[in-house]
Amino acid sequence: MKIQRRNKANPEFSLAAMTDVILLMLIFFMVTSSAANQSAIDVKLPKTGAVDDNIPNPLTVSIKPDGTYYVDDQPVERQQLETTISNKLANQTNKSFTIRADENTMHKDVVFVMEIAEKYKFNIAIATVKDK
């Protein structure tokens, strides 16, 4: 004797529930992404919290607000900066240097030094002031 079930599972798939879930996820991500991209106009850089600076860098590149560069407190022309940095770090085991930029320095001057570090695969640290 064959026993038959009364309730058979329906193998059809309803897309209505999945559409609702996708729509809710879309709305959620749109709302959170717009909240995450707030403008930060009135920031004063550079400042930092309580971070220990235990990485000794043998070389320091300072940038003044007028765009003048200094390597270890010696003035260097913009055209000579790349060769000066690469020559000073050629014999070092720790190929890294610190960028000390004034908070009023233009970003293009800081990015110029960062591009030199990227070209030669040097590690960089950006000097900041601890927030009191």
Q: What is the per-residue pLDDT for 131?
A: 65
Q: Report the predicted TM-score, pTM, of the whole model to 2 decimal places.
A: 0.58
Q: Is the pLDDT of residue 92 over 80?
A: yes
Distance of alpha carbon 118 from alpha carbon 111, whole angstroms: 10
Q: What are the residue ranges spanned by the domains of the chain?
A: 59-129
Of 24, 95, 111, nearest to 63 by C-alpha is 111
Distance of alpha carbon 111 from alpha carbon 8, whole angstroms: 67
Kindly report the CATH number that applies to the domain delimited by 59-129.
Answer: 3.30.420.270
Q: Is the pLDDT of residue 45 over 60?
A: no
Lowest mean pLDDT among 33-37, 63-67, 68-72, 76-80: 33-37
Q: Is the pLDDT of residue 120 over 70?
A: yes
Please provide the average confidence, as pLDDT, over all residues in the chain.
Answer: 79
End-to-end Cα, the chain, rounded Å: 86
Q: What is the mean pLDDT of residues 112-119?
A: 94
